[in-house]
Structure 1
Amino acid sequence: MNTAYLSIGTNMGDREAHLREAVRMLDALPGTGVDGVSSIYETDPVGFEDQPAFLNMTVRLKTEHPAEVLLGHCQEIESGLGRVRTVRWGPRTADLDILLFNDENMESEKLTVPHPRMQERAFVLVPLLEMDPGLRPALEKRFPGFPAVDLDQGIRLWKPVGGPSAFMAGE
């Protein structure tokens, strides 16, 4: 069984509902189960800044799928939630990124793991380390100068989450 950490973000429509549905859809994948979720954080846009604030969270899941198959499922979930890719880093209903996959380093045309910009993004690191603080030593080894961003800037706790089951149930 593989362990994957994903980042989920949204800034269009019912943002919380998009996060919840993305987590439900991940959990419903055959051979896959969500076993950790972070709180939800509201974050300022990065890159293309003339857009609404995002809600972001991270999830940990166990999956039988290899990383590139999981990536395909993530893209299907994004599409199923209405994502249309028009502007790079622009508004979106759902953005699912694979951050870590086991302890693997991989680079292909479709996927780079660990995610190449994760150490530069508070909206990824804050929820990731909140959900799994034990990852910090491994991330410090992998990324010299970790973290490469101020973890207090542009990110605000929006809503605590009571674990995967409670979150998916809407509690």
Structure 2
Amino acid sequence: MMVRAQRHPPVMAYIGLGSNLADPHAQVLRALDELALMPGCTLCFRSSLYATAPVGPVAQPPFVNAAASIATTLTPPALLAALQAIEHAHGRVRDGVRWGPRSLDLDLLVFGELTLHTPDLVLPHPEIAHRAFVLVPLAEIAPSRLLIPGQGLLVDLVAALDGLQDVQLIPDQAGPP
């Protein structure tokens, strides 16, 4: 008897992108293109690019950030592995330094309505509500009524930003496709 793999309907997932090394602008644009090519995924929207100040104790250059939405049939761990493979292809080295400079950072922010806490993956992203460099690009492409599980509505999270985090639109960028 042959058993067929069960196919699940696609889930909408949101990904944050960032880079501050090795031509960050090009790194993020190339990664957005690569997201569109991932098996089991369809790129739905991509935000404009934003210039942002780094967060954390390590002195480093400014970041280029963006967000993307994909419809995916991958599981969260499989999607995380695919994102980390793209990071690795861009020269990302995970050396244990938190909030340090990086050639490419792809964060799985939200995966449908799923809440998950494993040693390798926390969903939604645990810092999403406090990071303008994530919320501003995300608000450009996601419905304002998007519910971030356990955090609240996207529109409310954006409204609650403290205004101290500098997020600047990079001019002359194509917005959502």
1:111 Cα offset (Å): 0.5
Q: Could you say which residue in structure 1 is the equivalent of 2:111?
A: 101
Equivalent pair of 1:125/1:151 in contact (CA under 8 Å): no
**Structure 2: 5+ residue runs without aligned partners?**
1-9
Equivalent residue letter for 1:116 = P
Aligned residues: 162
Bigger Rg, which one:
2
Q: Could you say which residue in structure 1 is the equivalent of 2:69?
A: 60
> Do the aligned partners of residues 8 and 125 (structure 1) sit closer, same or farther apart at CA in structure 2, a change above 3 Å counting?
same
Equivalent residue letter for 1:117 = E
Deviating beyond 6 angstroms after TM superposition, the runs of 4 or more aligned structure 1 residues are none
Q: Could you say which residue in structure 1 is the equivalent of 2:150?
A: 142
1:154-169 → structure 2 map (5 Å cutoff): 154-159=166-171, 160-164=173-177
CA RMSD of aligned residues (A): 1.9
Q: Are 1:131 and 2:141 counterparts?
A: yes
Q: Are 1:45 and 2:54 counterparts?
A: yes
Equivalent pair of 1:37/1:58 in contact (CA under 8 Å): yes
Equivalent residue letter for 1:162 = G
**Structure 1: 5+ residue runs without aligned partners?**
165-171
1:66-105 → structure 2 map (5 Å cutoff): 66-86=75-95, 87-105=97-115
Secondary structure (helix, strand or coil) at the match of 1:60 reads strand
Greater fraction of residues in helix? 1
Percentage identity across paired residues of the two chains? 38
